Amino acid sequence: SYKRKTAIRPTTIAGVTQRPDVDIIALTNHTKDDKPQVVLDAVNEALKDVGYTALTINRRSINVKLMKVDMDVVPIISDGYGSYLIPDIHLDEWLATNPPGHTEWCVELNKQANGRFKPLVKLFKWWRRENLPDLKRPKGFILECLVAKHMNYNES
């Protein structure tokens, strides 16, 4: 969301800034023949090797807790045709993804909406944070897709 400019600033509660969550895409040299769990384990070990200690293996990423931020390191592999795949250890398979394409798509949608797409996404992200703080809630990517599908591009 930082690259797409749809990220919202961390909130402050009682003078304490809450930890932002940053997704980091890591292109690996693994292939589709490698099991998703093997790749996540390898990335986890690589992060340990460079000194990170507060690590949690998630469904599709490794969470790294730092002093002021939480990072989700998402390993991806090339599919050999210009797109990418992310691991899913619950499904034990690789899922198609395209971070550069999604960024370009958001830029184009924002142009089509005369600059209203990104602020509307940020509004929904803010609402989600304020109204669903402790509940399982839709990821930012899903909110971007929902806004893209349902917004009126002809309004001014």
Contact predicate 98/83, CB 8 Å: yes
The 10s digit of each residue's pLDDT in 60-112 is: 999 999 888 889 999 999 988 888 999 999 999 999 998 888 889 999 999 99
Residue 6: how many CB atoms within 10 A of its CB?
Answer: 23
- Residue ranges with strand state E in the chain: 12-13, 16-17, 21-27, 55-57, 62-65, 70-78, 84-88, 93-97
d(CA 54, CA 20): 16
To which residue do tokens 């509940």 refer? 135
d(CA 12, CA 148): 29
Q: 3-state SS string over 75-90?
A: EEEECCCCCEEEEECC
The 10s digit of each residue's pLDDT in 15-68 is: 666 666 788 999 999 999 999 999 999 999 999 999 999 999 999 999 999 888
Q: What 8-state DSSP symbol labels residue 7?
A: -
The domain locations on the chain are 1-97, 98-156
Quick one: CA dihedral 80, 83, 85, 86, positive or negative? positive
